[in-house]
A and B are shown apart, each in its own frame.
Chain A
Amino acid sequence: MWIERAVEILVLGLRSLMRNKLRSFLTMLGMIFGVGSVITMLAVGAGARHEILARIQELGVRNLIVNSVKPPETTKPASEEGWFDVYGLTFEDADYVLATIPTVERLLRVNKVRKRVWHGSKRLECAVLGVEPGHLEMFRLEVDRGRPLTDTDAETEAKVCLVRRDFVRQLETIDDPIGMWLQIGGFPFQIVGVLAAEEFRSHTRKALAIDSRGQEVYVPYSTSMRTFGTVTAIERGGTRESSQVDLDQMIVSVDSAEAVFPTAQMLSALLECFHETRDYEIVVPLELLQQSEETQKVFNFVMILIASISLLVGGIGIANIMLATITERTKEIGVRRALGARRRDIMLQFLTETTVLAAVGGLFGSVIGLVGIQGIVRWTEWEAIVEPHYVLVSLLISCTVGVVFGVFPARRAALMDPIAALRYE
């Protein structure tokens, strides 16, 4: 019985909105933008959270990554041929870290050189990363085909390498890459495995010093040290720049997540003692998380503010139009009262109208929001996650706005004196 009646009241509310479509639409605009921004906010917020978590997972919460960086002031005039740049982390740094910082669980060294890689007559410029056993697992670099680098490879300084799928594609060969021989910096290496194509986020790529073309070649650290050494020579436009870097990167694993920040401080203090210039950078994934959360908080605050303001303005717009409507329909209110409507019936009627107005506005707003999210995802690098319950949440919010801002006009209608209302022209 009451369901039938509720449906009837709802239909009446909808009909009275349909009577004046333009006015209803204009009244809804505030709600549309408000709800649209709420949905966008939720989706972009969730996307950002997801992205941060993914970053952390890629880099590892308990890891500290120390990269050697070429200090800008050591750039020498180009005329000095054969200049040796010596900078970056040293072997001693790694030993000191292991010896003095008790929270360090593991330290992985990376030797990175740029080499020409030949396969038959095909030539590629590649970054060759010498990595210690454990490195691949730590960054979830899984082998798609073939086998990973093993401890035996490291012990025997085997000339084997892992390549990426993109690398294989660029070789332009139809042969099976497994077992294929490459010339890396003049030395023969055999491909033993192909890594799964992993999409790294630009941030992770930067932290791990790998390029976006997916051309890195992984070889055992010991092999790399023995074969290529620590000197990298780059020929650029006829000039030759050589640099010597002991350790291009070290990855420090800390024994617990709580110890990450103290360890980072100790690490920083220790490196400061031995380095006159800042020829290294420490990347703390956990810190990145915190920084992103800070910006996220500001962003959320601003978005919530915008959304609340739009909803407030939308609500005020609805209340305003309803007040005008009620004055316009005074006579109707009087007639309904004379025909037996109680105050609460009138109240319910107008509350229904505002709520329907707000809910329909919310529905449109959701659609606009969903479209807007697609636009944001397309034109920016942000991630956005849309979950079905966002629409529900926004509808709930808009209904609440409708009820809250409908109470005042509806009360005003309900409290009208029926005699005066009947006589109103």
Chain B
Amino acid sequence: MTVLALSGICKDYPTGEEVLRVLRDVDLSVEEGEFVGVIGASGSGKTTLMNILGCLDRPTRGTYHLDGRDVASLDDDRLAVVRSRSVGFVFQSFNLIPQLTVLENVEVPLFYDHVRRGERRGRCLELLESVGLAQRLGHYPPQLSGGESQRTAIARALVNRPALVLCDEPTGNLDRKSGEEVLALFHALHGAGRTIVMVTHNTEIARAIPRVVELRDGRVVRDSGRGAARRVQAEA
């Protein structure tokens, strides 16, 4: 099943008199269970693509189907609903809310999806246990190490059982060891059938990702394709 399908996506930013075209005719489709890396130099349009994929931004032109639903033309509130149900975000700088505990941070997406408190607790506890943070439930983000913070963020991204997990340089702020742990976690999630799109400019990390899409000047210039994905899996 196709989780996301972009076709002819363009994104323009008006800058004074000229129009800055950040994305030009991007076509991309990702099947369920794929792990896709998006690479490219800075200014290549990675972040903009990420924002559109995450339903934070709307494309100027083109169609975007997420989880079988056309989301390119939804209004602000509907996009928020899509985000709360179908997308999980993992950011470079963790972006945990400092005044909430680990458990409460993980609960946030469910809170906005109007899931009842009792059910919310249960789901969050389960997930936090699976990422190895069962001992840190009542801690506040400033008390956590980088690796723990990012694992909390991953739990938060997974808690609403999203169709798509979006990560933006998830290891960028981590030391080598925790970075490796976090990457291992992503690969494990991929193994469990999650659909993951990870933006990175670290080629070493990208090499381990089954399918890599390269952006340059707002165009997709290379896509190792699904075939590659299968090959890597076969080799493994």
B153-177 to A contact mask, C-beta < 8 Å, 1/0: 0001000100000000000000000
Contacts A1-B116, A5-B114, A418-B56: A332 and B80 contacting too (C-beta < 8 A)?
Answer: no
Instruction: Report how far A343 CA is from B76 CA in the complex, Å.
Output: 8
B17 within 8 A of A: no
Contacts A8-B117, A345-B112: A335 and B77 contacting too (C-beta < 8 A)?
Answer: no
A396 within 8 A of B: no
Measured between beta carbons, the chain A residues less than 8 angstroms from B98 are 332
The number of chain B residues touching the other chain, given as a range, is 20 to 34
Residues B117 and A343 in contact, CB atoms below 8 Å apart: no
Residues B80 and A341 in contact, CB atoms below 8 Å apart: yes
B27 within 8 A of A: no
Measured between beta carbons, the chain A residues less than 8 angstroms from B116 are 1, 4
Instruction: Report how far A345 CA is from B112 CA in the complex, Å.
Output: 8
Tell which of B81, B84, B97 touches A335, judged by Cβ atoms closer than 8 Å.
Answer: B97
Instruction: Report how far A380 CA is from B44 CA in the complex, Å.
Output: 77
Instruction: Name 5 interchain pairs, CB-CB below 8 A, sorted by A.
Output: A16-B99, A334-B95, A335-B97, A338-B56, A340-B160
A-B contact count (CB 8 A): 66
Instruction: Report how far A1 CA is from B111 CA in the complex, Å.
Output: 12
B83 within 8 A of A: yes
Q: Whole-angstrom distance from the CB of A424 to the nearest CB of chain B?
A: 11
Measured between beta carbons, the chain B residues less than 8 angstroms from A145 are none
Measured between beta carbons, the chain B residues less than 8 angstroms from A5 are 114
The 7 A-B pairs of least Cβ separation, nearest first, read A340-B84, A340-B112, A342-B80, A335-B95, A339-B109, A340-B83, A342-B77
Residues A19 and B156 in contact, CB atoms below 8 Å apart: no
Residues A338 and B113 in contact, CB atoms below 8 Å apart: no
User: Which residues of chain A from 3 to 22 have a CB within 8 Å of any chain B CB?
Assistant: 4-5, 8, 15-16, 19
Which chain A residue lies CB-closest to B96?
A335
A115 within 8 A of B: no
Beyond known contacts A335-B96, A339-B156, A341-B112: 16 more, CB 8 A cutoff: A1-B116, A8-B117, A15-B99, A19-B99, A335-B95, A336-B97, A336-B112, A338-B56, A339-B84, A339-B109, A339-B112, A340-B80, A340-B84, A342-B76, A343-B77, A418-B56
Residues A422 and B95 in contact, CB atoms below 8 Å apart: yes
Instruction: Report how far A8 CA is from B85 CA in the complex, Å.
Output: 21
Instruction: Report how far A393 CA is from B97 CA in the complex, Å.
Output: 36
A55 within 8 A of B: no
Tell which of A1, A16, A331, A339 touches B83, judged by Cβ atoms closer than 8 Å.
Answer: A339
Residues B89 and A338 in contact, CB atoms below 8 Å apart: yes
Residues B108 and A339 in contact, CB atoms below 8 Å apart: yes
Q: Whole-angstrom distance from the CB of A423 to the nearest CB of chain B?
A: 9
Instruction: Report how far A15 CA is from B116 CA in the complex, Å.
Output: 20
Measured between beta carbons, the chain A residues less than 8 angstroms from B156 are 339
Instruction: Report how far A402 CA is from B116 CA in the complex, Å.
Output: 28
B35 within 8 A of A: no
Interface centre among A1, A19, A332, A340 (most CB of B within 10 A): A340
Q: Whole-angstrom distance from the CB of B118 to the nearest CB of chain A?
A: 10
A419 within 8 A of B: yes
Residues B54 and A338 in contact, CB atoms below 8 Å apart: yes
B54-94 to A contact mask, C-beta < 8 Å, 1/0: 10110000000000000000001100110111000101000
